[in-house]
Chain A
Amino acid sequence: MKKISAMASGILASITGAANAEWRGVDSTVIEKFAADAGRSASPLIPAADGDLLLFCFLVAGAAGGFVFGYYFKSVFPAKKERD
């Protein structure tokens, strides 16, 4: 348990230490950077949602994906009393 606590503390400390970093995805730090150097840029065919709308879309997708996952999980791994 002490090892787990130390590991978790280390992770938390490293996250806190890097809190000022922008936490950008590798799409912008790698893919779009190399594309820009080669004279190309991302141009989505479907306009990306503005502001918090994209956050809302991710929330809905997470909830829907979680529901589907849970639904099938219950079917594949039934509770012990249901198995008996």
Chain B
Amino acid sequence: MNTITRRAGFLAAAFFAASVLLAEPAHAMHISDGVLPPSWAAFWWALAIPFVVIGIKAYEKEKNGAKKPFIGLIGSAVFIISCMPVPVPVAGSCSHPCGTGLAALLIGPKLTVAISSVALVLQALFLAHGGITTMGANIFSMGVAGAFSGYFVFRAANKLGLGIFSSTFLAGLVSDWATYAVTSLELASGLGSGGSAPAMFGALLAAFAPTQIPLGIMEGFVTASAFKFITERRPDLSLTPVKETVSE
């Protein structure tokens, strides 16, 4: 083992030990049952269901048998990433990345909605992470907004001539921020009474910002790095726009 590897291993071990020794009990970061009024919870369910159906149909239409293990891999990654509280020292609080931006680049936004829904169901049923009545809202913010924003930002950045790393970084960053912007919208629309919703929306964005700005930047780097690794090893599994970019 060379010196650099040994030092990197030592630093990783020290970071892990500090994280474990200083850890506090984790909390759920999705919207819990009871937070949204029933009418608004039903509204977000109604918006999310068509996307989930489209996602399931996209999976059923998937003919490439070699791609199904890849979808399973991405699904498990989204499940793990989205229930992993990451401490943000500058904010003194924890939140979680989403992984849906990366997933959308690799398997497409429709399939990403489907795997996000599976992850959110498991988290709500077994980990007290999210809720049953608010699952529609959580699917819409993390699955729909996170996936489609990341996907379209990547395509736009790509068309503007940005490199692969920059485009994928932006996709991960915007995907994370869009998830929490839509969560703010869901909370403001459900909790704001009368004309207070716009002000509450701004206040929620400001409240999320100290945690999500650094976390979004981290997610951007993770997305870019993971995307580079995967497309270098298995370019055949990625979406068409991604392949076009890699070959440029």
Contacts and interface: CB of A to CB of B under 8 A. Distances in A.
B76 A27 contact: no
Contacts of A72: 69-70, 72-73, 76
Contacts of B162: none
Q: How big is chain B's contact interface, by range? A: 35 or more
A5 B130 CA distance: 37
A55 B122 contact: no
A24 B32 contact: no
B77 A69 contact: yes
Interface stretch (B79-87, B144-152, B240-248): B79-87
Interface residues of A, number: 53
Interface of A: 1, 4-5, 8, 11-12, 14-19, 21-35, 37-38, 40-46, 48-49, 54-55, 57-58, 61-62, 65-66, 68-69, 72-73, 75-77
Of all A-B residue pairs in the complex, the 3 with the closest CB atoms, nearest first, are A25-B27, A43-B34, A21-B92
22 contacts: A1-B4, A8-B11, A12-B18, A26-B207, A29-B211, A30-B208, A31-B187, A34-B187, A40-B37, A42-B131, A46-B128, A54-B25, A54-B127, A57-B126, A57-B128, A61-B122, A61-B127, A62-B80, A65-B76, A69-B77, A72-B73, A72-B76
